Amino acid sequence: RHRPDGTIAYAENPPKKYQDIYPIAFDADMDGLVAETVRVLRHWMEHGVRIFRVDNPHTKPVVFWERVIGEINASDPDVIFLAEAFTRPAMMATLAQVGFQQSYTYFTWRNGKQELTEYLTELSGEAAAYMRPNFFANTPDILHAFLQHGGCPAFEVRAVLAATLSPAWGVYSG
């Protein structure tokens, strides 16, 4: 997509601006986009990749992901799609229901006992039937004050919590 002056209207997910990503017009040729995406994913699968982290899938048509994931998982049910989507709970639920096997969560922002208890209660309710949360102890772009000021002990606490409170967890380094 282009602006009236001809420059590229880069992808945005406020407040972030992705000037290195060309926004695709999903309404122009959905079948072609699905086919090409599946082709590219299969290329990487042939090289042993079995997990794909999808950045901001909530900014693309849900039906696109439903078709892509459905086609891949029809022949390769062991391939996992991780939704990197910090968005509204309803959209996170929708992404899980259309095929994303794992999802980022609000764990990053839950630090106090009450916050964690309420959030885990939410995840173990109805959402447990379709959503597989992935608790990241830290992320490259979100560093809660607890981690900013807590030093190594704070990171250790978050890693232990993530590893014991969720079936899937992760940690970024560097």
Which of the residues are catalytic?
55, 84
Helices 62-75/30-46 angle, 10° precision: 40
Q: How far apart are CA 144 and CA 109, in angstroms?
A: 7
Is residue 47 within 8 Å of residue 66, measured between CB atoms?
no
Nearest Cα neighbor of 94 from 69, 121, 124 is: 69
Q: What is the DSSP letter of 108?
A: G
Q: Which amino acid is at 161?
A: L
| Bridge partners of residue 135, in order along the sequence | 169
CA 95 to mean position of chain CA atoms: 9
Which helix (H) or strand (E) covers residue 102, if one does? strand 102-103
Which helix (H) or strand (E) covers residue 30, if one does? helix 30-46
